[in-house]
Structure 1
Amino acid sequence: MYQIKKIIVCLDQTEMDKTLVKFAAFIAKGNQSKKIYFTNVIRNLAIPKDILAEFPNLIRNMVEERKNQMKQVVEENFDPDLKVSSTFVVKEGQLSKKVLKLANEKSVDMILVGRKTSIPGSGVVSQRLARRASCSLLIVPENAKPKIKKILVPSDFSDYSKDALEEAIEITEKNEGKSEIICQNVYAVPSGYHFTGKSYEEFSQIMLKNAEVNYKKFIRKIDTKAIKIQPLYTKDEDDDPVVDIIQKAQEIKADIIIIGAKGRTAATALFIGSMAERLIQMNDKVPLLVTRPKGKNAGIIEYILEI
């Protein structure tokens, strides 16, 4: 996986900003990041022309004021000992488009956005960013704490699950092996199991053994760097694996969930997978990292920005 040297942090002048700045500092410290773009997008600066003619410096002063407010939040919540270059960016327009354009222009490695539940404000369009960004996306719930003692990696043993697990291994390696990685596979008993002459319990055991065999094949393809991975098998009782993932994350007190974006080529870049989509929608308690190898959306990003 690639190094996280450049980061975009999406701020919106709510209490969420403090949490995001703390997470940015945490990530920058662990990755020796070089550059952070603290970004705020104003939805609409529609000011009548006659007003602008009378007050020609109005927009410039508004933007400068917004930057100063961002700088204050960063000064109060960012580790002053970290030697990271910071730039404060204020844009007008649609948030996702402006952030995507900045990420593309600056070739950033990760975007940080907030996930709100009680704090006022609309927040950011996380799903659009997850689908369209050419880098990884970290979605941080309000009041989350930046730590990585336990990492949950949901896996269906696919290539994009491999990307996510490799990211977890790299994070753990940077954390001197102190993080615990749990690789969760959610399996289900097919509705037609009774045609086999097996009971529900018997076929459940067959599906479990199949998952265990597939995990062994899957893990052999990955350089674990001598880091212990704990496999976890969860039987899906309600035909909704996303609920099982979220429940397990909360049960084990996971500090982060890591999933891989499904699109691995330019043709599939807009598809992050149904499980990833629903995790973004439903999970509001645990930080969620959607990994994408840098540049996978290159070649279509310019087209997207024109939509």
Structure 2
Amino acid sequence: MYQIKKLIVCLDQSDLDKTLVKFASFIANANQTKKIYFTNVIRNLNIPKDVLEEFPHLIENMVEERKNQMKSLVESNISIFKDIELSYVIKEGQLSKKILKLAHEKSVDMIIVGRKVNLPGTGVISQRLARRAGCSLLIIPEGAVPKIDRLLVPSDFSDYSKDAMEAAILVSEKYGGMAEIVCQNVFTVPSGYHFTGKSYEEFSAIMLMHAEINFKKFIRKIDTKNIKITPVYTKDDDDDPVEEILQKAKDVHADAIIIGAKGRTAATALFIGSMAERLIQLNDEFPLLVTRPKGKNAGILDYILEI
């Protein structure tokens, strides 16, 4: 996984902003971060032309006021221990498009957004960014605390699961290599198991055995850097592996969940995977990192040209 040299932090003047700023400083201090773009997108103002003619500096003054508010909030909540440039960016328009365009122009390595639980707002922006961004996306829920003791990595042993595991190893390494990584494989018993002559319990054992074998093959291809990785295997009985993942995150007291975006090329990047989609929708408790190799996006140029 690439270094996190440039970050975008999406602020919206809610109480969640303080949490996002603290996570940004937590990440920046442990990485080779050079610049953080604290960004706020104002919806289209639609101010009548005659009003702007009468008050020509209205928008300019409003933007300056918003920047000063952002700067005050950041400076009172950030803890930077090295030379990192902070930039304050105000945009007008559709939130996801403006963030994606900025991320593309600045070639950022990660976008940080909030996940509201009790505060007003929706998670739609997270799904759009996860599909379209040419970099990784970190989604922070209300009340989250930046710490790295245990990371949960759901895995089906695919290439994008490999991206997620390598990201988790890098995160652990950056924070002293003491964080435990829990690699969870959720397996199912196929509905036609009875045609094999095996009982449900017998076929469950067969599926578990193959999951254990596949984990060993999977982990051999990865440089674990001597970081503790604990495999766990969960049988899914209700055709919703995301519920099993969230329950496991609670059981192991995970500090974050890391999952790979399914699309690894421009042709497939829109399809981040049903599991990632569901995690973004349902998870409101754990920081969620959706990893994507930098530059792998879904027609981002066509998308931002619509602006």
- Using the size of structure 1 for normalisation, the TM-score is 0.97
Q: What's the counterpart of residue 158 of structure 1?
A: 158
Task: Between 289-298 and 36-45, report the one with greater CA deviation.
Answer: 289-298
Task: Between 219-228 and 254-263, report the one with greater CA deviation.
Answer: 219-228
Q: What's the counterpart of residue 120 of structure 1?
A: 120
Conserved in 1, the CA contact under 8 Å of 2:38 and 2:86? yes
What is the 5 A alignment of 1:1-307? Answer: 1-122=1-122, 125-297=125-297, 300-307=299-306
Quote the Cα distance in structure 2 between the aligned partners of 1:33 and 1:11.
Answer: 19
Quote the Cα distance in structure 2 between the aligned partners of 1:111 and 1:96.
Answer: 11
Conserved in 2, the CA contact under 8 Å of 1:12 and 1:123? no
1:81 Cα offset (Å): 3.5
**Unaligned 5+ residue runs, structure 1?**
none
Q: Which amino acid aligns with 1:194?
A: H
Quote the Cα distance in structure 2 between the aligned partners of 1:123 and 1:195.
Answer: 43
Quote the Cα distance in structure 2 between the aligned partners of 1:121 and 1:198.
Answer: 50
Q: Deviations over 1:33-82 (max 9, x none)?
A: 11000000001211111111111000000000111110111011001534
Conserved in 2, the CA contact under 8 Å of 1:155 and 1:185? yes
Conserved in 2, the CA contact under 8 Å of 1:36 and 1:86? yes
Quote the Cα distance in structure 2 between the aligned partners of 1:65 and 1:302.
Answer: 31
Flag the 1:293–1:80 CA change in 2: closer, same or farther, 3 A. Answer: closer
1:122 Cα offset (Å): 4.1
Quote the Cα distance in structure 1 between the aligned partners of 2:117 and 2:218.
Answer: 36
1:83 Cα offset (Å): 2.2
Quote the Cα distance in structure 2 between the aligned partners of 1:275 and 1:123.
Answer: 16
Quote the Cα distance in structure 1 between the aligned partners of 2:5 and 2:289.
Answer: 16
In angstroms, what is the RMSD of aligned CA positions? Answer: 1.1
Task: Between 97-106 and 222-231, report the one with greater CA deviation.
Answer: 222-231
**Unaligned 5+ residue runs, structure 2?**
none
Local SS of the residue matching 1:139: strand
1:228 Cα offset (Å): 2.1
Local SS of the residue matching 1:266: coil
Quote the Cα distance in structure 1 between the aligned partners of 2:70 and 2:32.
Answer: 22
Local SS of the residue matching 1:257: strand
1:151 Cα offset (Å): 0.3
- How many pairs does the alignment contain? 306
Where do 4+ consecutive residues of structure 1 move more than 2 Å? 80-83, 120-124
Local SS of the residue matching 2:267: helix
Flag the 1:181–1:200 CA change in 2: closer, same or farther, 3 A. Answer: same
Task: Between 78-87 and 37-46, report the one with greater CA deviation.
Answer: 78-87
Conserved in 2, the CA contact under 8 Å of 1:14 and 1:121? no
